């Protein structure tokens, strides 16, 4: 599905709907985010995290922390691969310990993973203008997320 958002709040809302979907899905527990710096990946993750009862202010783009583990049920791992520039570095960082091992894993800069994990939702975010973002979510349709396939507002 493809959607255009026109504010950070709208992007958070899409994230929240995605989080609600993950919560109810027995199979999909990983979200891979693709997009440039400032696209809105962390903003969307704030929304995903809020579906698991995590405060938005506790989700930050502290790229020097590769894995931020949030206590939630199930555990919520916010992984940021920004600083890991090679596939080898990503492999060496042990990210597979967080994927499909009972927790939710949400990964920024997923293009840095050599081979995408199975059973993951891919989200591509592109900055269109100052306030507009195109969000493409692969593998889920609007109905499953409970949102309409039209720009918000
Ligand atoms: P990334 O994690 O992809 O580097 P961030 O989520 O940290 O991006 O930053 C996105 C920036 O863009 C924030 O400052 C946010 O306020 C701003 N922004 C403006 N419009 C939007 C929008 N529609 N969706 C998401 N972020 C937006
Ligand atoms: Mg970020």
Q: Which tens digit of pLDDT belongs to each residue from 30-65?
A: 999 999 999 999 999 999 999 999 999 999 986 667
Distance from residue 42's CA to the centre of ligand 2 (Å): 4
Task: Please tell me the residue having the least CA distance from ligand 1 atom 6.
Answer: 40
Using most ligand atoms within 8 A of CB, pick from 34, 38, 127 the residue to mutate for ligand 1.
Answer: 38
Residue 80: nearest ligand to its CA?
Answer: 2
| Domains observed in the chain | 2-145 (3.40.50.300)
Structure-block tokens of residue 32: 């891979």
| Burial class for 73, CB neighbours closer than 10 Å (0-12, 13-18, 19+) | exposed
What is the predicted pLDDT for the residue at 145? 85
Q: Using the atom order of ligand 1, give the atom closest to the CA of residue 108.
A: 2
Q: Is the CB of 103 under 6 A from ligand 1?
A: no
What pTM was computed for the model? Answer: 0.94
Nearest to 64 by CA among 80, 45, 77, 78: 80
Confidence of residue 139 (pLDDT cuts 50, 70, 90): confident
Output Rg (C-alpha) for the chain, integer angstroms: 14
Using most ligand atoms within 8 A of CB, pick from 37, 43, 59 the residue to mutate for ligand 1.
Answer: 43
- Average pLDDT taken over every residue of the chain: 92
Q: Is the CB of 63 under 6 A from ligand 1?
A: no
Q: Is the model more confident about 70 or about 61?
A: 70
């Amino acid at each position: 599905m493809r959607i255009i958002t026109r504010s950070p709040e709208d992007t958070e809302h899409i994230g929240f709907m995605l989080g609600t979907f993950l919560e109810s899905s027995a199979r999909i527990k990983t979200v891979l985010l693709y997009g440039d710096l400032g696209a809105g990946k962390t903003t969307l993750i704030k929304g995903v995290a809020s579906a698991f009862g995590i405060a938005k202010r506790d989700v930050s783009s502290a790229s020097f922390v590769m894995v931020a583990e949030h206590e939630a049920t199930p555990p919520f791992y916010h992984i940021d691969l920004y600083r890991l520039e090679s596939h080898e570095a990503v492999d060496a960082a042990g990210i597979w310990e967080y994927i499909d091992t009972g927790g939710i894993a949400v990964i920024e800069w997923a293009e840095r993973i050599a081979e995408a994990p199975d059973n993951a939702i891919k989200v591509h975010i592109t900055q269109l203008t100052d306030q507009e973002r195109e969000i493409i979510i692969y593998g889920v349709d609007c109905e499953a997320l409970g949102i309409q396939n039209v720009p918000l507002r």
